[in-house]
Amino acid sequence: MSTIRKPGLLSIALLLGSLATADANAQSVQPPLNESEKALHVLNRLAYGPRPGDVDAVRHIGIKRYIEQQLNPDSVPMPADLADKLSALSIYQLTPPQLYQQYGPPSFPPNTATPEEKNMARQRANKEITPQVHFARLWQATESPRQLQEVMTEFWFNHFNVFEGKEWVRYWDGEYEKDVLRPNALGNFRQLLGAVAHHPAMLYYLDNWLSSGVNTPEAKGRFKGLNENYGRELLELHTMGVDSGYTQADVISLARILTGWTIDEKGMKDGQPGFVFNPRRHDFGDKAFLGQTIKGSGYQEGEQALDMLARHPATAHFVAAKLVQYFVSDKPEPALSEKLARRFLSSNGDIKAVLHTLFDSPEFWARSNYQTQFKTPYQYVVSSLRATATPVRNVKPIDGVLNQLGQPLYGWLTPEGYKFSEEAWLNPDALLRRINFVNSLSNGKSPIARSETPAPAGAAPDPVPVDPQQLIQALSPTLTPYSLGAIGAAPANLQVGLILGSPDFMKR
């Protein structure tokens, strides 16, 4: 136990010392980033940190070219072994109707079944779907060369959060990420917004599938009554943001507009798409929404409302500020947020164009914003796996540590998603848990690298202990002289844990 806690305590001391010196240095004039620092910066912000050799590779192709490649992920070839692994996830390839048929109510046992049989049927999704979805996310985060696409997929999942633990959501959250968020992560915001609005995972999570206009023909049983949940979160979290000028009357109007946008249970049994507009549950009255009158016309009312929200200046500013907070600074810089909001509006919500403006900005490249953002648990775990080139062959230990650290995959209960700030994640207990985790990676015997089922002889090489000198080289110039001195003075068997537990590696 002492070999874990000693580097843990030292790393915490290093971190506290680093924070103190950072405040002292912030006021001094600092030189611009050199080329190695720029390479590390883009790997930490546009990616989940460097793998061995990545810093040199980015320097070789050039910073600007790397950014352009990341903004155009289809131009970056997917490694064949990664593509093969993803293709082999048979459940991960299923469509929403197929998932519903095989794991949802159509597959449940009859009412005559025992409680144990019914419970087992409901647990199938957790046992069979969830591991494949988690493997797919973690494989792509750790191995895909299309790193910005993965970073933005996580960003948008957080923005359009659904909770895996809410009953039927588990059937669809992986497909929602795979076929809605990832393909649109660097595309057009209106297209992304519409794809989210039509997906059964979101319709179910925020209960819009239950919502019906008052006194409409099919407003009966569980479908009786207007449900405001999705309308409220669509305004507050997905588009305009809180305190942006909309009113409770606008929330109610938007909920009325979206009545009849529901899940086609009967159709899915026959292989039809999950979304359907049901006119017999729609409120056909005229609505006053954001100062405009929307005539009661049916399905197109919802599309008109989404159009209005996607091009609203408040939406541009809300999304821009979140992007600045993720990529630049915990406290969004008003001038940069305003610049991005203008680009959002002028480009009609072109996410790639907005990011291009962000990555061209002086604020993004300022030394005052270099190595200053504290990694979330997910960023820390994935960057540790990448830095040590640890293969992900078992997701259970990763799920376990993310649960301990408070950021389980697809596990945030409420619609606002996880926070990305240092304030949310920096505390001594969390630091010690992180350090315990990375110490388990150092000797090459982590259970993450060992499949639960024995692999055929020669199927994959056994992991080897991480070489601290190679790790230092891979992470250069992450580590400061202060950290390098403490690491160099430690016994060799503790050095990898100290590197990954250092204040420098805790940040990005």
Is residue 349 situated within a structural domain?
yes
Give the model's confidence band at 37: pLDDT under 50 very low, under 70 low, under 90 confident, else very high. Answer: very high
Strands 292-294 and 287-289, bridge-based pairing: antiparallel
| Residue 27 clears pLDDT 60, i.e. is over it | no
Q: Coil, helix or strand for 245?
A: coil
Q: Coil, helix or strand for 344?
A: helix
270 and 320 share one domain: no
d(CA 16, CA 9): 11
Is residue 51 situated within a structural domain?
no
149 and 251 share one domain: no
447 and 408 share one domain: yes
pLDDT tens, residue by residue, 378-425: 999 999 999 999 999 999 999 999 999 999 999 999 999 999 999 999
Residue 34 has what pLDDT? 94
pLDDT tens, residue by residue, 171-212: 999 999 999 999 999 999 999 999 999 999 999 999 999 999
Tokens representing 126 are: 């957790």
Is residue 233 situated within a structural domain?
yes
381 and 473 share one domain: yes
Instruction: Select from 184, 202, 220 the last residue of a domain.
Output: 202
C-beta atoms surrounding 25 within 10 Å: 11
d(CA 28, CA 31): 10
Choose among 1, 15, 6, 70: nearest CA to 483. Answer: 15
Is residue 55 situated within a structural domain?
no
Is residue 140 situated within a structural domain?
yes
The distance of Cα 218 from the centroid of its chain, to the nearest Å, equals 37
| Residue 160 clears pLDDT 90, i.e. is over it | yes
**Cα distances (Å, whole numbers) of residue 330 to 64, 145, 212, 376, 421:** 24, 26, 40, 12, 6
Instruction: Select from 324, 347, 369 the last residue of a domain.
Output: 369
Percent of the chain at pLDDT > 90 equals: 82
421 and 463 share one domain: yes
Instruction: Select from 351, 369, 387 the last residue of a domain.
Output: 369
Is residue 60 situated within a structural domain?
no
397 and 498 share one domain: yes
185 and 160 share one domain: yes
210 and 274 share one domain: yes
Give the model's confidence band at 351: pLDDT under 50 very low, under 70 low, under 90 confident, else very high. Answer: very high
Is residue 135 situated within a structural domain?
yes
Is residue 461 situated within a structural domain?
yes
145 and 228 share one domain: no
Residue 493 has what pLDDT? 87
Reported pTM: 0.93
DSSP for 410-459? Answer: T---STT----SHHHH--HHHHHHHHHHHHHHTTS--GGGS-SSPPPTTS
Greater pLDDT, 383 or 467: 383
Can you give the residue range of the structural domain that contains 155?
Answer: 77-202
pLDDT tens, residue by residue, 235-261: 999 999 999 999 999 999 999 999 999
